[in-house]
Structure 1
Amino acid sequence: MNGETDLRALLTGLRPQLNPGRYVFTTIRSAIPSGVDPVATVREPEGLTLVVRQEEADAAGLPYEYVAGWITLRVHSALDAVGLTAAVARELTAVGLSCNVVAGFHHDHLFVPVERAAEAVEVLLRLARRSA
């Protein structure tokens, strides 16, 4: 199944979903600790970045600084789609919200400050309604 590339269709079909839980970014230089099940990983020269549930990081003694809410954009976006990330960033920037984006094969995933995650969903819903 091919992902969507039309920006208007992407924006009107955002359907942001706030996933339950609190998520953190941490980094390790060795094996992923037992009991830690990352929702995303990124390999960098400095180590392996993990995005994990906060309670898993705490139980494994992993350090972190940023606690996020995880929003999934349920539109099936193509990996070569142009403008979706920019449009979402522009909307969140307008209300002073930071956002870390992770692209999956089917969907884009946004990590925003946990205390403002519900607000971020509302901002994205307004963007989708305006784009229709």
Structure 2
Amino acid sequence: MTGETDLRTLLSDMRPELNPGRYVFTMAEGGVPSGVSPVVTVAEPEGLTLVVSQADADAAGMAYDYVAGWITLRVHSALAAVGLTAAVSRALADADLSCNVVAGFHHDHLFVPYEQAERAVEILRRLAA
């Protein structure tokens, strides 16, 4: 199934959805600890970055300093689409909100400061309107 590439359609159909919970970025030495279920993994030369629920990180004794809300853009975006990440990032940057973007095969996922996650969703809804 091919994803959408038209920027106007991507923006108008993005339907941002705030996933429940708090998420953190942490590092895993020697692989993913038992009992931890990452929602994102990134292998870097410095080690394995994990995005996990704050509860999993706390239970495993993993260090972190950024607690995020996880927003999923429900539009099926093509990996080759141009401009969606830029438009979303710009709208959030203009509101002084950090945004860490991860592209999945079907959807884009945004990690924003937890305390500002609902505000971020509203900003994205206005962008879509």
- Whether TM-score is above 0.5 comes out as yes
Q: Secondary structure at the match of 1:115?
A: helix
Q: Secondary structure at the match of 2:62?
A: coil
TM-score when normalising by structure 1: 0.97
Q: Secondary structure at the match of 2:105?
A: coil
1:12 aligns with 2:12: yes
Could you say what the CA RMSD is over the residues aligned between the two structures, in angstroms? 0.5
Q: Distance in 2 between matches of 1:31 and 1:39?
A: 14
Match of 1:53 in 2: 53
Match of 1:21 in 2: 21
Map 1:1-132 → 2, pairs under 5 A? 1-129=1-129
Q: Offset at 1:29?
A: 2.2
Q: Percent identity?
A: 73
Q: Distance in 1 between matches of 2:46 and 2:28?
A: 9
4+ runs deviating over 6 angstroms: none
Q: Distance in 2 between matches of 1:24 and 1:74?
A: 21
Q: Offset at 1:28?
A: 1.4
Question: Which blocks of at least 5 consecutive residues in structure 2 are unaligned?
Answer: none
Deviation digits for residues 52-97 of structure 1 (CA, Å, limit 9, x no counterpart): 0001000000000100000000000000000000000110011100
Q: Offset at 1:31?
A: 2.1
Question: Which blocks of at least 5 consecutive residues in structure 1 are unaligned?
Answer: none
Counterpart code for 2:28? I
Q: Secondary structure at the match of 1:22?
A: strand
Deviation digits for residues 80-124 of structure 1 (CA, Å, limit 9, x no counterpart): 000000000110011100000000000000000000000000000
Question: After the TM superposition, which of the residue ranges 95-104 and 29-38 deviates more from structure 2?
Answer: 29-38
Q: Offset at 1:37?
A: 0.2
